[in-house]
Amino acid sequence: MRTTIDLPDPLLERVKITATLKKTTMRSLVIEGLEGILRAESQPGPAASRSALSRLRAGYALGGKPLSRDEIHAR
């Protein structure tokens, strides 16, 4: 899946240099780093994962009444 992230210029420069020195891609470095962070954290059990996914699917009440499609595009 494609996504966009905003990195500070000095960090982006370091990532590009490191990718070049390791003869790899920036994408590979980002994946490697994120996987390392996630591996280091305690992994939630299946019940916790299902609960989190359920909350994400249901959404969060942010107050106010939901806007119609036309109301959203009129803004």
Instruction: For 36-72, write each residue's pLDDT tens digit.
Output: 988 877 666 777 778 888 888 887 777 777 778 888 8
Global pTM reads: 0.52
Can you tell me the distance from the alpha carbon of 26 to that of 7, in angstroms, rounded to the nearest whole number? Answer: 12
How far apart are the two ends of the chain, measured CA to CA in Å? 30
Among 33, 40, 37, 3, smallest CA distance to 19 is for: 33
In whole numbers, what is the pLDDT of the chain averaged over residues?
86
Instruction: For 26-43, write each residue's pLDDT tens digit.
Output: 999 999 999 998 887 766
